[in-house]
Amino acid sequence: MEKKSYTIPVLIGIIILGIVVFILWNNSAPLTTPAEPLPATSNPSDTAPAIDNSTTSSTSPNSEDTASNPSQPGTATDIGNASSATPDKTPVAPTSITIPLASENKSKEEGSATITKMGNKIKVTLTVTGAPKGSLQPAHIHSGSCDKPGAIKYPLADLMNGASEKTVNVSYEQLISELPLSINVHKSIKDIKTYVACGNVTVTQE
């Protein structure tokens, strides 16, 4: 029997097998996709809101001018100067008062009483014209007015020949707080119920 030649079929088979393997290898390789571009990173300087320089430039110079220029109207310096230049109009009670003493009961005696502050005390000086010579005339500070005198609050020195002076143990402020008060001069020690001169204690603010 003749031997068959298998060389050609084997070669053909090898070639076909190689083609099949090549095709299969290509199909099994992972497909590569193009890389997607990364999102652009935002720049803070690109997105930050723009500053309105017009506002800053319009206000800052004025503020600096106001602070540096003391003559600028409406500045704190002007306000301070204006307040310091304004005189203090707070009423101040005087440290002494003079009270007219009017004649009472047709006595024709009249004069004045001066009350002077002396630390925590007061000094009361009485001067009366038309007083009888050589006669003592009692005097007091009474509560109430000359029209309606009340009780004796502070005894004063008796007048001799129309004059007397005494330091009373009461402060000036305490005396003023007790108004209304009046200063009464009596006819004599025996006739003490008869008033010959009287004046209402009043304070006029300076």
Poorest-pLDDT segment among 54-68, 70-84, 140-154: 54-68
Q: What does the pLDDT look like over 103-143, one tens digit per residue? A: 999 999 999 999 999 999 999 999 999 999 988 999 999 99
Is the torsion defined by CA of 129, 130, 134, 135 positive or negative? Answer: negative
Query: Please, what is the Cα angle at 191 between 196 and 193, to 5 degrees?
Result: 65
Do 96 and 206 touch, CB atoms closer than 8 A?
no
Q: Which CATH architecture has domain 110-201?
A: Sandwich (2.60)
| Longest Cα separation, the chain | 199
User: Measured between alpha carbons, how far is residue 33 from residues 30, 36, 38 in Å?
Assistant: 9, 9, 15
pLDDT at residue number 64: 47
Q: Give the C-alpha separation, 80 to 93, whole Å.
A: 28
Q: What share of the chain is helix, strand, coil (3-state, %, to 5)?
A: 30, 30, 45
Query: Please, what is the Cα angle at 189 between 184 and 195, to 5 degrees?
Result: 30
**The pTM of the whole model exceeds 0.85:** no
The per-residue pLDDT of the chain, averaged, comes to 77
Domain edges within the chain: 110-201
